[in-house]
Structure 1
Amino acid sequence: MEIKRLNDWGIFDNHPVFMVGPCSVETPEQLDNTVGELARLGFKIIRGGVWKPRTRPNSFEGLGSIALPWIQEVQSKYNVQFAIEVASPYHVEEALEHGIRVFWIGARSTVNPFTVQEIANSLKGIDVPVFVKNPVNPDLALWIGALERINQAGITRLGAIHRGFSNFNDKVYRNSPTWQIPLELKTRYPQIPLLNDPSHISGRRDLILPVSQMALDLNFDGFIIESHIDPDKAWSDSAQQLTPSDLAGLIQQLQTRIPSVDNPFLESQLEIIRGHIDEVDRELLEILSRRMKLVEKAGEYKKLNNVAIFQMERWKKVFESRPEWAKALQINPEFVKELFDIIHSESIRKQEEIMEVKNKGSHS
């Protein structure tokens, strides 16, 4: 994909970059007061919801086109640029008519290639910055596909936004960060700017700082953060919005890490540690290989004795015991649960292969 560097977009001055503003545009007064305060604090790119796709009907779904003239007015008044979510060619057309020149595609749109393609078609020949949020579910291929569709429409000022993934088991975050997915995207496409959306990941003000710091530590390029002049009275997502002054205070607390070590001694020490990690990784794979060979033996036994592959009691024992072992070893039990979910899935797949061989043999 041909993508311009963030520094060449012509709209961002600093690193990391920030797009900040209210979850939703609610009234002319709320918008003016919020944008005025954010502009006073030095923010140049303001985000705001106009069309809000909601999970259930009767929720506030944004004011729609009625809010666009208000945005046009505050852009001029405070010399800022506005970024909004677009979910259809109609949204793109309406926004452009009102001088809005920065767009993002939301998580619910990213899951639908038809929707993304319609938006991409409407953007052909238009040189505007576009960000694509990750899909609601943890599907990297869908995210990449959406970015490719927008890029093929001629958009070269193209970025990605990591806003977390739906996970009904997560008791901490509104949307699980699942950091390995945006990092995989960054690994495959290092030229694509990657922003973090700690507001939607957190769902709570108190988590926005640690999530943001983690994103910085992982070398994200910037943030999109929700800020409202009076968050407790916000019409949508009040719990995850910050006042402009609290937002400024949060940014002051963020610590920017250096991307690499220039000191030769420190670099040599890191290389020694990395060498040890490589050795341990090989040992892990050797142990995993031994485990899978034992799984194959179990599969052969089940095949010979006509035993079902999935044994509920056995799986319950594994699923309950391994996190407990992890605790004793000071390893995150939630990580171990996810790890053994993956191992179990592969174990089932291997045993299914063995059973398929048996079934083919019985029909030959």
Structure 2
Amino acid sequence: MEKLRFPFFSDAADRRPAVIAGPCSAETEEQTLDTARQLVAAGFRIFRAGLWKPRTKPGGFEGVGAAGIAWLQRVKRETGMYVATEVATREHVAAALEGGIDLLWIGARTSANPFAVQEIADALQVFGADIPVLVKNPVSPDLELWIGAIERLRNAGLSRLGAIHRGFTSAEKSVYRNLPMWSVPIELHRRMPQLPLFCDPSHIGGRRDAVAPLAQQAMDLGFDGLIVEAHAYPDAAWSDKEQQVTPLELAEICRRLVVREGAETTESLDSLRGEIDKLDDCLLDLLARRMHVARDIGRYKKEHAMPVLQAARYEALLARRVAQAEELGMDGGFMRRVLQAVHEESVRQQMEKLDE
């Protein structure tokens, strides 16, 4: 199936990625307009700004709300840019549509809530608006939840849908704000190849110096575009200032991007090899973390005089994981061999702790 295209995103002959750029939050009319003017001067065509900002705790800056619609309207009039904002409720949808917003996106916390997504889908259906909508991945790496959110919108009659990969929340220590876990959007692409896929390197990285390498990784994996937080004065931003870049910095990042060429209906071999390399890196990282936990278990067993091998737990675990692998379309025998090898190495790591 041919990949869906938004009419204003990019020329079919232009192999550069579509880029949606603008501040995390519309803070003041002056800040919004200054940022938009700098972005359009740098060649960007789609302006993003958050008006309603969900916060973990009350008391933080939660956005200017519907008052910012007029600022985005002014951006359209004065720069000719298309404008986009995040919505999370029926009221947000109504205000955005009435204000002539061109594109909506659904945030990670909202996409994790089927009731909230259905409310947005129902509102768009009632208003009869087939507006482009991008869906960020849920905060947890739940592919089915992500697909479910997209399907709710599609079932409401929306035909111009896309997905945004913004990484996944984790308690694990990482150099990133949110773990990329590239395998999840890669599987989404395999399951829904017609869906345009955007990367949000700002939220994955959580810092300015991570935007460029993450954007390049997304290009290497065949993503269609980027949604990046850019601010005229990032050091003075009211929210997420650490991860916002200036419009000129973003222009330079985009200029340096290497975009892989491929056939119209299949990815290039280089792109596929890039996916394998990234996945292998993920596998090695996960295995290293698993062995670190295994050594901690070995230390605990030594302190409590427990045997290393617990056969009943191992057999139950092996059977469960093999069944899971088969449900995911993998060969049970292959997975059994992999798990046995991992278990043997885990036992060896634990034995080393007993011998210390």
Q: CA offset at residue 58 of structure 1? A: 1.1
- The residue number in structure 1 matching 2:316 is 351
Computed over aligned residues only, the root mean square deviation of the Cα atoms, in angstroms, reads 3.1
- The residue number in structure 1 matching 2:337 is none
Residues 229 and 244 in structure 1, CA contact (< 8 A), matched pair in contact too: yes
- SS of the counterpart of 1:24? coil
Residues 3 and 156 in structure 1, CA contact (< 8 A), matched pair in contact too: no
- Aligned residue among 142, 150, 159 for 2:153: 150
Structure 1 residues 338, 120: closer, same or farther in 2, change over 3 A?
farther
Residue 184, structure 1, aligned to residue 174, structure 2: no
User: How many Å separate the matches in 1 of 2:282 and 2:164?
Assistant: 30
- SS of the counterpart of 1:58? coil
Q: CA offset at residue 66 of structure 1? A: 1.2
User: How many Å separate the matches in 2 of 1:341 and 1:116?
Assistant: 39
Q: CA offset at residue 253 of structure 1? A: 1.3
Structure 2 matches for 1:189-204, cutoff 5 A? 189-204=192-207
Q: CA offset at residue 334 of structure 1? A: 2.6
Structure 2 matches for 1:183-262, cutoff 5 A? 183-259=186-262
Structure 1 residues 63, 151: closer, same or farther in 2, change over 3 A?
same
- The residue number in structure 2 matching 1:121 is 122
- The residue number in structure 1 matching 2:286 is 335
- The residue number in structure 2 matching 1:168 is 171
- The residue number in structure 1 matching 2:4 is 5
User: How many Å separate the matches in 1 of 2:84 and 2:100?
Assistant: 11
Q: CA offset at residue 97 of structure 1? A: 1.1
Amino acid at match of 2:27: E
Residues 20 and 227 in structure 1, CA contact (< 8 A), matched pair in contact too: yes
- SS of the counterpart of 1:42? coil
Highest CA radius of gyration, 1 or 2? 1
Bigger shift: 17-26 or 63-72? 63-72
Alpha-carbon displacement from aligned partner over 1:148-188 (angstroms, at most 9, x marks no partner): 00111111100000000001213200000000000000011
Structure 2 matches for 1:83-102, cutoff 5 A? 83-102=84-103
Give the fraction of aligned pairs with identical amino acids, expressed as a percent.
Answer: 48
Normalised to the residue count of structure 1, the TM-score between the two structures is 0.73
Amino acid at match of 1:351: A
Residues 72 and 99 in structure 1, CA contact (< 8 A), matched pair in contact too: yes
User: How many Å separate the matches in 1 of 2:91 and 2:41?
Assistant: 33
Query: Aligned pair count?
Result: 289
- SS of the counterpart of 1:73? helix
- The residue number in structure 2 matching 1:311 is none
Q: CA offset at residue 74 of structure 1? A: 1.3
Structure 1 residues 44, 38: closer, same or farther in 2, change over 3 A?
same
Structure 2 matches for 1:22-171, cutoff 5 A? 22-124=23-125, 125-171=128-174
Unpaired runs of 5+ in structure 2?
A: 298-311, 320-356
Structure 1 residues 204, 353: closer, same or farther in 2, change over 3 A?
closer
User: How many Å separate the matches in 1 of 2:317 and 2:36?
Assistant: 58
Unpaired runs of 5+ in structure 1?
A: 261-265, 278-329, 355-364
User: How many Å separate the matches in 2 of 1:188 and 1:87?
Assistant: 26
Structure 1 residues 4, 259: closer, same or farther in 2, change over 3 A?
closer
Amino acid at match of 2:316: Q
User: How many Å separate the matches in 2 of 1:332 and 1:134?
Assistant: 21
Q: CA offset at residue 350 of structure 1? A: 3.8
Structure 1 residues 152, 205: closer, same or farther in 2, change over 3 A?
same
Residues 231 and 243 in structure 1, CA contact (< 8 A), matched pair in contact too: yes
Residues 3 and 193 in structure 2, CA contact (< 8 A), matched pair in contact too: no
- SS of the counterpart of 1:200? helix
